[in-house]
A and B are shown apart, each in its own frame.
Chain A
Amino acid sequence: QVQLQQWGAGLLKPSETLSLTCVVYGGSFSGYYWTWIRQPPEKGLEWIGEINHSGSTNYNSSLESRVSISGDTSKNQFSLRLTSVTAADTAVYYCARRTQLRNWFDPWGQGTLVTVSS
């Protein structure tokens, strides 16, 4: 059974860079899109972007100038970087898997609360 485990810094100051990593246990890195999704406190879900095993990426246009997702197939992990964070980037960040040619996310990581505060 595939499991995703994520980690990263939980408290940032404005203008710093958010960095999170998600490792895939019990499954292949190939054949899937590896995704980041976030959820501001008491709000809905926002798709951030994704990467596949070949390194092809897609990003939310509203974040594209600040976001990058990278992958390391040798370690079965992928990472999110979001630069120049502000309080508006405060959210729980989730990693998730999407099967190629499919439109749903399963499974999800446990989530990481990232707070941006001076």
Chain B
Amino acid sequence: EIVLTQSPATLSLSPGERATLSCRASQSVSSYLAWYQQKPGQAPRLLIYDASNRATGIPARFSGSGSGTDFTLTISSLETEDFAVYFCQQRRNFGQGTKLEIK
């Protein structure tokens, strides 16, 4: 089973700042990695698939990169609605999440 480790657990930033979230896989997953955003009381929403492709309707400030074992989700300039929990996923495996909170 592949283990996905996200870091940091919590990230405190201000609106307008750049956010960089990391997801590391215990073995290579090629580019088969997705990112989701989850707000309180809501289902996860797909942001990025296959490591770097934005899902339909996702703003351009969200970008994904990486391959193999190391992946990054970048939010170029934080909007207030971006403060949420972010999960990475590969097949049946999910990371434990990074909480992005307002500083």
Which residues from chain A sit less than 8 Å from chain B, CB to CB? 44-47, 60, 94, 102-111
**Which of A47, A104, A107 has most B Cβ within 10 Å?**
A104
| Interchain CA distance A110-B55 in the complex, whole Å | 19
Interface of A, helix, strand, loop or mixed by DSSP: loop
- B43 near A104 (CB under 8 angstroms)? no
| Interchain CA distance A91-B87 in the complex, whole Å | 17
Of all chain B residues, the one with the shortest Cβ separation from A45 is: B94
**Besides A94-B44, A105-B46, 6 other A-B contacts (C-beta < 8 A):** A44-B97, A47-B92, A103-B32, A103-B34, A105-B36, A107-B46
- A45 near B43 (CB under 8 angstroms)? no
Write out the residue numbers on chain B whose beta carbons fall within 8 Å of the beta carbon of A45: 44, 87, 89, 94
Write out the residue numbers on chain A whose beta carbons fall within 8 Å of the beta carbon of B55: 106
19 A–B contact pairs at CB < 8 A? Answer: A44-B87, A44-B96, A44-B97, A45-B94, A47-B92, A47-B93, A47-B94, A94-B44, A103-B32, A103-B50, A103-B90, A104-B46, A104-B50, A104-B89, A105-B34, A105-B44, A108-B43, A109-B43, A111-B42
Please give the number of chain B residues whose Cβ is less than 8 angstroms from any Cβ of chain A in the complex: 22
* Nearest 10 Cβ contacts at the A-B interface: A104-B34, A108-B43, A106-B46, A47-B92, A45-B94, A104-B49, A103-B32, A44-B96, A111-B43, A103-B91
